[in-house]
Amino acid sequence: MKNNEILVSVKFNIKNRVRTLSFLVVKDITLKEFIQGVYYGLKNFNPDESIDADTTLSIQDCFQAFEQYIKTHCELLILYTIMGEYSKVDITEQSMDVLDQQKKVKNNYDLSLSSLGIVTSSEFFITDNDMVTNVPQLFDKGDREKTYILRDNNTLEYNISTRRLNVIEPTVIDILPAGDMPTKAKGSLLDTIAPPLITGLGMVGIRFFISQFSSNSGLNDSMLAMTIAMPFMSAVTSLYNRRKQSKDYKQSVSEWKEKYENYINETIIKKKIVKWQKDEIVYLNKAYPRMCTLFNQTGEISTAIFARSQNDNDFMRVTLGESDEIKPSFQIKAEQKDDIFYDVRYKLHPPKKGKDECPYITIEIPPKHKNKKGYQQTTEEMKNQFLLTELPYIFSTTQETIGENGEKEITGFKFLRDSSAKAEKPPLLVDLKNIGTLGVISKNDDVSLNFIRHLAFELSFYHSPEDVQLVFFFNKEKDIEKQSDIINDYMFLPHANELFDGLSQFVFDEKSAGEVYSQLQSIISERVKSNSSDEPDSNSLSEKVTQIICFVLDDYDIKEKAFSKYIPEAPKEGENYENSLGLTFVFIQKEKGMLPKYCGSIVELDETIHRISNRYNLLSHETLSKLARGKDSSTTTDDIIEYTNFTNDYIFNNGTKEHPNSEFDIAFRRLSSIYYTRIAENGKVPSLVTLFELFEDIYKLNNEQILTDELTNIICKNWSDVQNNDVTRNMKVAVGKNEHGITYLDLHENADGPHMLVAGTTGSGKSETIITYLIGLCVKYSPSDLNLMLVDMKGGGFSERLGKLPHCVGTVTNTAGESQGISAVYMLKRFLESLNAEVKNRQIILSDLDVDNADAYIRTYRKIKKIHELKSNPNERSKYEELIQEIRDGKKEKQIRYIDGDISKLKPLSHLILVVDEFTELKRFSSESNDIDFIAEITTIARIGRTLGLHIILVSQNIEGAINDDIRVNTKSKICLKVATKQASKEMLGTTDAAAATMPGHGRAYILVGTGSRYEYFQSAYTGANKNTDIKPATKMTYVTNTGEFISDFYDSTKHNEVLKAKNKKLSFGITQLEYVVEKIIEITSQKTSNGTNKYDVPEKIFLEPLPVLLSDDNDEFNEWNEV
């Protein structure tokens, strides 16, 4: 679709048989023209098609139903219009044209489709049921206050606004180690009491031995008692100290345990892990909302639509659904500490009800008996208990364990979880840009189509069609209506209509597959060529091209096609896949073995299993141990890779009462309609402008006035009104229309000139654009003020249309001398010699009046000539003296001399416009001639001719590499129509706008003045319209097929419209508007005054045709040579 077209459909429902036909039309086609187009197009269309006659209408059935309907109804049912005001259009009534600046009231039949609220995805409903009560529309009236687009007007002019980008800061949660647990005093009870006991026993023994030799028995007894008491008291003290140390140890351990539990539970789990996880889940659900939210945002025309650009970090990142296996963005780490014999464990418990809903840990210190040699904890005792030193690792790498009865027990925080009652799961994201190929395994066809629908909608919602295009390879299907059902959601999407020109992006058979593969190969091979070029920015090409996503349900033997070499290959191990060609595949197959060799990720969509896995997986030793413990010998590494499970009701439960298919249908239609009028700044630019429409004085005339002498009178008035049409002040002429009105071009040096570049492919309308400007100048200025010199390097078609004008002082073509054996190089050399002579002549003429530029000369020349005209007229004495005084005030002797002198030798001077069509051909001729460089010569003339009244317009279709620095410096204005490559557009405009897929041909153009002081998009005039304004230009409609090539000649009003053809037979076709204007100008310059002289001066030719090689022997003067 081009940006001046809309894609609308006509749906037939007759006797429970249906058929939907889609048509590509210009958006400003009238309702009458559309109805006539459908009628006569169906009447003359006889395709070879496959249908089920019991359920589907044939084209002939559709024609009969349409004919019967329009003959018996004055109301048309139109579904999916903008706001619903025109859901039922009575063709007999009148309405205000909301898009007309003057808000005129017109017959509904004569309103344009856009004025009726009809946009891409609108649908005319033809039925035999007159009891239709539900006429669905795109937007409800309740949505009017939700967005300025629906509130302010009745169009959908959507602007992609600025976007704020958010990135979660990489964060690490550092867990402080628990520190050394308080140590218990070493030694047993015996170690405590043995020393005082041994000491006491020794002292008692010694005292007993001494007492045997002592005579004082009383003293001995008391000393013995003291000796016995001292060790006893020491033992008691030691026992007390041991008991106290044991109590202090237990208290220290308890405090250590409590502090670290509080630290982990409050600071780490509650305030960081749990809170951060909740915050991240909320953010992800806001940044990547669920499908139901996207549906609502589409209805409100959210600013998120088409907002992602290729430089954004989330470009082509889409959701597969919701999952509770999404890893957080933060990391959990701790200081490494070697505690080889540390046997303190912990256990993570689920949240307690009413206790802040946070998991918590308890530290388990082994009891005394567990320290006995050879003791091992039982499996039940150690269940889900981990060493405290491993807490950070377990927290970050585990989530839960599943018991024998299926119960889950939390062990860590590997995934984002929120235990709140109303908490949502985070979205599962997949990056399609750098995935290469996404493999999908599904045995359910409905699930496969729902999966495609889900991805296609998200891609279309977030990305503009300039950035993302979708191609669909569906399973083989011959029935047309079944095809329509499959592509119903996508058929209007600009994302599925702008990659190819005149070819469907939906494949249902081998033939259409071959055509699409051929087009894709052409596009990708061009990108490969650009990637391998030596251009400085070629390395970043993949970031700027349209990303192509191919959904493949049936590959149609792609391996046998040349295009197969572009299927993504696996990158080197450890390296990421680089999407350097802007191409991504989504293969949907029933078995894994049917997927291509390389898939960046694989999605499995079985009845019970919904999961995704990546090609590369990092396996921990714990994971490897599972493989080693596997009892089944058939267990492979595929069984232990990490999968991410997800759910998505819009994939697995779509079409149910809770999630009806109509949700996708209306959302896709809204996206289609929003985009098409969003394009732009270009939304209201007319699709066709005739030459007469640009001349306000002529456009006011009716056809009868135009065909008489009114046009002649207008031209004569323009030529004589030098005060208002002064070529020395401006050269402003209308060249087309933009969305606001007339687009003007002024090649005067003080405005858009003096020189200009024009570029455009064949058929883009560049010749029409330049001719429009040149004929506009000739209508506004007389041959005395403005002249043309035409160089036509493509056969003379351009120069033939204007070469007979009296303003034209020379034409040269690349074929001009062929009939006489004169080479094009010779003709071009003569042309350059003539042009250089004219430059020198102009320099001499300027010196005659002592001025330094052409405008000053022309104004002075007019004054001097006027002085001599008024000299004999006593009634104009004051004007005469005023002009003389102006000349004398200039104090230039050469000018004063002509006040009373002879002015017969004073030569007139005009502005001269040199047009070189296909100027890049001059490069080829330069290579054939060793003694002259045509481009350099013309560039030199452009540089020195700025003050001499010379204006050069260089025109070419292949502009790449042709603009050198000299040309770029000396050309102030550029007009760029549709060009073939982005590089050509960049050289002209600095942007790729003119190479966009949505850029129409046939006169659509951008005008750039300077470095951007003026940048407009407009439709140039069509000079080939008939001079009889009652004869309207042809209306054309393209039938958009479900698959394969479109039928571009479905309807042409000049060929198929029988009523219009009969009417036109009664009218005088005559000649085109351009030919008519040229004819009138020639007639005017042929007029004579009363004394027999020419009323208007005709300039002398600058470039003369060469003399003929052979002279006619009819001349008697040369007969004497016949005998020689």
Domains and CATH numbers, the chain: 5-152 (3.10.20.90), 172-410 (no CATH), 432-534+549-569+582-654 (3.40.50), 721-821+911-1021+1087-1124 (3.40.50.300)
**Residue 783's pLDDT is what?**
94
Res 819 pLDDT > 80: no
State which amino acid sits at residue 537: D
**Mean pLDDT for the stretch of residues 71-84:** 84
Res 331 pLDDT > 60: yes
**Mean pLDDT for the stretch of residues 545-565:** 92
> What is the sign of the dihedral through the CA atoms of 342, 344, 349 and 355?
negative
pLDDT, the chain, mean: 83
* 719-743 confidence digits (pLDDT tens): 999 989 999 999 999 999 988 889 9
- 252 burial (CB, 10 Å; 0-12 / 13-18 / 19+) is middle
DSSP code of residue 908? P
1032 or 650, which is more confident: 650
**Residue 182's pLDDT is what?**
78
* 748-795 confidence digits (pLDDT tens): 999 998 999 999 998 899 999 999 999 999 999 999 999 999 988 777
**Residue 636's pLDDT is what?**
65
Residue 184 · residue 365 · CB < 8 Å: no
> Residue 898 and residue 865: Cα distance in Å, rounded?
9
* 1017-1028 confidence digits (pLDDT tens): 999 999 988 887
Residue 746 · residue 731 · CB < 8 Å: yes
Q: Mean pLDDT check: name the lowest of 127-131, 860-864, 1071-1075.
A: 127-131
* 240-257 confidence digits (pLDDT tens): 777 777 788 888 888 889
> Residue 531 and residue 537: Cα distance in Å, rounded?
9
Angle made by CA atoms 642, 647, 648, in degrees to the nearest 5? 135
Structure tokens at 1006: 């951008």
pTM score > 0.75 for this model?
yes
Those residues whose C-beta lies under 8 Å from the C-beta of residue 1084, and which sit 6 or more positions away, are: 712, 715, 716, 719, 1095, 1096
> Residue 532 and residue 577: Cα distance in Å, rounded?
18
> Residue 39 and residue 408: Cα distance in Å, rounded?
67
Q: H-helix or E-strand containing 1078? A: helix 1073-1085
**Mean pLDDT for the stretch of residues 62-79:** 92
* 471-490 confidence digits (pLDDT tens): 999 999 998 989 999 999 99
**Residue 539's pLDDT is what?**
43
Pick from 793, 817, 1006: which is nearest to 917 by CA? Answer: 793
- 1116 burial (CB, 10 Å; 0-12 / 13-18 / 19+) is exposed
* 604-627 confidence digits (pLDDT tens): 998 888 999 988 767 666 666 666
SS (H, E, C) 580-600: CCCEEEEEEECCHHHCCCCCC
Angle made by CA atoms 500, 506, 512, in degrees to the nearest 5? 80
**Mean pLDDT for the stretch of residues 441-449:** 93
> Residue 579 and residue 440: Cα distance in Å, rounded?
20
Res 925 pLDDT > 80: no
Q: Mean pLDDT check: name the lowest of 682-686, 917-921, 1075-1079.
A: 682-686
pLDDT winner (highest mean) among 114-118, 313-317, 677-681? 313-317
Give first-to-last CA distance, the chain, whole Å: 71
**Mean pLDDT for the stretch of residues 813-824:** 68
Residue 858: band (very low, low, confident or very high) from pLDDT cuts 50, 70, 90:
very high
**Residue 763's pLDDT is what?**
86
**Residue 942's pLDDT is what?**
87
Percent of the chain with pLDDT over 70: 83
* 267-291 confidence digits (pLDDT tens): 999 999 999 999 999 999 999 999 9
**Residue 681's pLDDT is what?**
45
Those residues whose C-beta lies under 8 Å from the C-beta of residue 430, and which sit 6 or more positions away, are: 317, 318, 319, 320, 438, 601, 612
> Residue 1078 and residue 771: Cα distance in Å, rounded?
11
**Residue 302's pLDDT is what?**
86
Q: Return the SS3 of 56.
A: strand
Helix axes 877-889, 854-870, angle to 10 degrees: 140
SS3 percent helix, strand, coil of the chain, rounded to 5, is 40, 20, 40
Res 579 pLDDT > 60: yes
* 536-552 confidence digits (pLDDT tens): 444 444 447 899 999 99
**Residue 973's pLDDT is what?**
94
Angle made by CA atoms 989, 993, 995, in degrees to the nearest 5? 100
Q: Return the SS3 of 277.
A: helix
* 506-544 confidence digits (pLDDT tens): 999 999 999 999 999 999 998 888 777 545 444 444 447
Residue 869: band (very low, low, confident or very high) from pLDDT cuts 50, 70, 90:
confident
Residue 322 · residue 285 · CB < 8 Å: no
Q: Mean pLDDT check: name the lowest of 153-157, 158-162, 252-256, 889-893.
A: 153-157
Res 131 pLDDT > 60: yes
> Residue 567 and residue 570: Cα distance in Å, rounded?
10
Q: Return the SS3 of 915.
A: strand
Residue 212 · residue 222 · CB < 8 Å: no
**Mean pLDDT for the stretch of residues 213-221:** 62
**Residue 507's pLDDT is what?**
97
**Residue 934's pLDDT is what?**
80
226 or 289, which is more confident: 289
